[in-house]
Amino acid sequence: MFPSDLCYTEEHEWVKVDDDVATIGITAHATDELGEIVFCDLPSVGAEIIQMDEFGSVESVKTVSSLFSPVTGIVSEINVEVVGAPSIINDSPYDSGWLIKVKLSDPKEVDDLLTPEEYKSHVKAE
């Protein structure tokens, strides 16, 4: 249910690191809880984001939910597809529904994130 090549936060974001770039999205569990996502507010390319600070939000038919960054760095890319069609996040949260890519300031921050097993336990405990 949770891809094994990703790290997770307790706030239901995921991160995949390739060299010094982190791709960030929200988990399938988050999309299930939120329902149909109808709007996505993301930072601009070049914006600095700080680990565990809010970097944007997603709005569903049920609620607005803040997005918290798993890592610190500079936004290098945003997924313009999800801005135009936010339901992509529901349909494919781990693939085409990614949100932003970040050039990492400190790759060691990833060590503080949850493993898939730890995230699975966290979700069960909620």
> Which residues make beta-bridge pairs with 16?
23
**Mean pLDDT, rounded, for 10-27:** 97
* Distance, CA of 24 to chain centre: 4
pLDDT of residue 67: 98
Mean pLDDT of the chain: 96
* CA nearest neighbour of 66 among 78, 53, 75: 53
**Which domains does the chain possess?**
7-106 (2.40.50.100)
Q: What pLDDT band is residue 126 in, cutting at 50, 70 and 90?
A: confident
Task: Specify the 3-state DSSP secondary structure of 100.
Answer: strand
* CA nearest neighbour of 51 among 88, 92, 7, 95: 7
d(CA 13, CA 40): 14
Could you tell me the CA-to-CA distances from 80 to 7, 33, 95 in Å, in that order? 23, 23, 14
Q: What pLDDT band is residue 106 in, cutting at 50, 70 and 90?
A: very high
**Mean pLDDT, rounded, for 24-28:** 97
Residue 58 has pLDDT above 80, yes or no: yes
Q: What pLDDT band is residue 115 in, cutting at 50, 70 and 90?
A: very high
Q: In this structure, how many other beta carbons lie within 10 angstroms of the beta carbon of residue 32?
A: 11
pLDDT of residue 51: 96
**Mean pLDDT, rounded, for 18-28:** 96
What residue type is assigned to position 45 of the chain? V
